[in-house]
Structure 1
Amino acid sequence: MPTDSAGARQEPEVLVDTAGLSEAEWLAWRRKGIGGSDAAAILGISPWRTARDLYDDKLGIASAQDDSGNWVALEMGHLLEDLVARIFSKKTGYPIFQIKKMFRNPRHPCMLADVDYFATLPDGNAAILEIKTTNYNTRGHWWEGETPIVPPYYESQGRHYMAVMDLDRVFFCCLYGNNEDEVEIRELHRDRDYEQEIIFLEESFWKEHVLARVPPPYTEDGELVLASLQRRFGAGDGTLPKQLLGRAEAATLQKYLQCQEQKKALNAQVKEIDRALKRLQGQIVASMGACWTAGCQDAETQYLVSYPAVRRAMIGKDALERLRRDHPEIYDAYVTMSESRRFSVKQIPLSAAQDAT
């Protein structure tokens, strides 16, 4: 938490005692400010939420939580929280404790903190302890090559909490397996420069968007934005009349078409390179015959070639149609339908469009 002009540290304010709150009550209090898990969306580094999702959640327009597809993982995280905290305490020797309160930064009252646990350090000071759960497939998010890291979206959460609680250390304990040795433990120390950036961006978001009721623009990765819009609009409504867009959208569509042309040009280059690769591959396979492996070398390099047969089970479109016709009960039991929307843009000269009307 920031210090005053004399350098004195400040205790966070208690916003509410959370021990007896229902889930709905807790969410209502959380909407009164920005929590640690909100920081990544504001910084534009969240893999799950856009700033617009967060804006909608704070104003009660729509929930920012997409629990439909990962509710089991979320529930497992809640159920394992106490266990993971005990593992951390056993591994480090640090006593742990909880404070069932939601805190607020006195100088920046839009910044809130509802901390999982605290740890008592050997010097008597307290540190923040954040509990996470994952699996073997995503354990790699806690590593950068051989270097242990905290994923950026969790790092922003920890630094937000340090700013609110005025504490200088935060620990993360992430369980990725089913025993006490399958955990990742990380420690972050306070970074005042990063902290000031978080404070500035969070206050700007709160004042310029939430309080002003001005939705933030979509600036995140396109896939994340489209996923957000899919949650918001679903598959759309084909019965609605054609939407009339403005000049700003016309400029955006022009850029879109320009990018399409650039992509076509690059794809043409890629296809030419692919054809060259196939020709060269054919020359090598002709020399290999039926062999799966081959090798050779020149003055400086040894080359090893592998060309094994790869077999996989698949079902073609015609066979799938026969399955639907001959065995509808099996088809219905195993085949699922997906729903998506296809985006396309056509460019029509204005004179031709006027003639058509």
Structure 2
Amino acid sequence: MTDQTLSHQPLVLVDTSTLSRDEWLDWRRKGLGGSDAAAVLGISPFRTARDLYYDKLGIVTADDQENWVALEMGNLLEPLVARIFEKKTGLKIYQRKCMFQHPAYPWMLADLDYLVELPDGSTAILEIKTTNYNAKDKWWYNGEEIVPIYYEAQGRHYMAVMGIDRVYFCCLYGNNEEETIIRHIDRDMSYEEELIALEDSFWHDHVLAKTPPPYTEDGDLILESLRRQLGPADKDAPPIAIAPPQFARVKQFLALREKKKHYDAEVTRLENEMARLKALIVADMGTSCKAVYEDGADSYTITFNPTRKVTIPKEMLERLREVHPDIYKEYAIVSISRRFDVKKAKPEAA
């Protein structure tokens, strides 16, 4: 990394104030933005590097529907969350409606939410986030305040493009200003150097070379990526013949499945023993919902509280469909999934 990449003024690629969403997306495809960094690093919980590759090439997949409600909510709440940040920190923020470009790496782009005026006269970046109450725990790890790693990658990409040393994150997870998380990270040159190298490789070795990157992410994310690319299953499609190199994966899958059976048996044994001990403890409690134990050094509370769960048995659902088909059709949700299995064919009789 040269001195030029450590302290510089970014270029302005385009004024975004009058761009339509489609025009803005076209400009984003001219390089890698901050929200792309996590996918390049393989740490995005939302999309794979292959998804990002297809997006940059403008390839339309069979199912390219985004969660437009969440996106729209984020856009609508952004000015409100920015006002909360100003009120809680006392810092002045402002916007520059343009797409920035790194002067040394023209494929590194940045489209910022806000910029922050710091008391010492320097500038920081502000990223606005919204989430739900359950997901707020991702901003802590073992009781320590953190920035989720996929947002950290975004912030460090922005600092690299802008030549700025600090990024603030303001995340709203509730419906009042107290349900807001504010964090900041400062520039880390070793992280930045590795990030630039990996982004450079992704852009030149995959996007420009039109060579799809390999799948390296978790299985569930890869399956979701494939669902978006391939669309629904075709039950009439002919079987696919797998070559020996690909069959190595099948053999590894079968070996792991056999290994898992042994672990499953042990887990079942432990669960059965835990259930037996639980029943004996409940027998000691009788009809009480609470028990306590103290030995001078430690104290324990055991609870066995009643819970109420409303369910509709399968036979009642069938009756509902027969008696009130309109109501059943209005509220019933049909989900489609695919079941994966590997079976060894029986040898044919001579």
TM-score (norm 2): 0.91
Instruction: Letter of the 1:13 partner, please give it.
Output: L
**CA 1:116/1:243 → structure 2, altered by over 3 Å: closer, same or farther?**
same
The CA deviation at 1:66 is: 6.0
Q: Is the 8 A contact 2:53 2:206 kept in 1?
A: yes
Q: How does 1:51-70 map to 2 (within 5 A)?
A: 51-62=49-60, 67-68=65-66, 70=67
Q: How does 1:1-357 map to 2 (within 5 A)?
A: 3-4=3-4, 9-62=7-60, 67-68=65-66, 70-294=67-291, 304-348=301-345, 352=347, 355=348
| CA deviation map 1:270-298 (0-9, x unaligned) | 11222222333344444444444445677
Instruction: Letter of the 1:45 partner, please give it.
Output: I
The CA deviation at 1:111 is: 0.8
Secondary structure of 1:178 counterpart: coil
**CA 1:293/1:178 → structure 2, altered by over 3 Å: closer, same or farther?**
closer
Aligned-residue Cα RMSD (Å) equals 2.5
| CA deviation map 1:232-268 (0-9, x unaligned) | 2233111111112222220001111111111111111
Q: Is the 8 A contact 1:41 1:51 kept in 2?
A: yes
| CA deviation map 1:148-169 (0-9, x unaligned) | 2211111110100000111111
Secondary structure of 2:3 counterpart: coil
| CA deviation map 1:122-181 (0-9, x unaligned) | 222211111112232222222224322211111110100000111111111222233333
Q: Is the 8 A contact 1:53 1:64 kept in 2?
A: no
CA distance in 1, matches of 2:299, 2:151: 45
CA distance in 2, matches of 1:85, 1:289: 55
Instruction: Letter of the 1:201 partner, please give it.
Output: L
Q: Is the 8 A contact 2:61 2:228 kept in 1?
A: no
CA distance in 2, matches of 1:209, 1:47: 21
| CA deviation map 1:88-108 (0-9, x unaligned) | 223323222222221111212
The CA deviation at 1:200 is: 0.8
CA distance in 2, matches of 1:278, 1:89: 53
The CA deviation at 1:302 is: 5.6
Q: Is the 8 A contact 1:118 1:129 kept in 2?
A: yes
CA distance in 2, matches of 1:237, 1:115: 42
Q: Is the 8 A contact 2:38 2:150 kept in 1?
A: yes
**CA 1:303/1:187 → structure 2, altered by over 3 Å: closer, same or farther?**
closer
Instruction: Letter of the 1:255 partner, please give it.
Output: Q
Aligned pair count reads: 350
**CA 1:39/1:356 → structure 2, altered by over 3 Å: closer, same or farther?**
farther
**CA 1:111/1:178 → structure 2, altered by over 3 Å: closer, same or farther?**
same
**CA 1:81/1:286 → structure 2, altered by over 3 Å: closer, same or farther?**
closer
Q: Is the 8 A contact 2:292 2:301 kept in 1?
A: yes
Secondary structure of 1:229 counterpart: helix
CA distance in 2, matches of 1:322, 1:57: 47
What stretches of structure 2 of length at least 5 have no aligned partner? none
The CA deviation at 1:331 is: 1.4
- Larger deviation, residues 150-159 vs 182-191: 182-191
CA distance in 2, matches of 1:339, 1:20: 41
Q: Is the 8 A contact 2:63 2:231 kept in 1?
A: no
What stretches of structure 1 of length at least 5 have no aligned partner? none
Secondary structure of 2:270 counterpart: helix
Secondary structure of 1:171 counterpart: strand
**CA 1:83/1:291 → structure 2, altered by over 3 Å: closer, same or farther?**
closer
**CA 1:143/1:65 → structure 2, altered by over 3 Å: closer, same or farther?**
farther
Q: Percent of aligned pairs with the same residue? A: 55
Q: Is the 8 A contact 1:2 1:10 kept in 2?
A: no
Instruction: Letter of the 1:111 partner, please give it.
Output: M
Instruction: Letter of the 2:222 partner, please give it.
Output: V
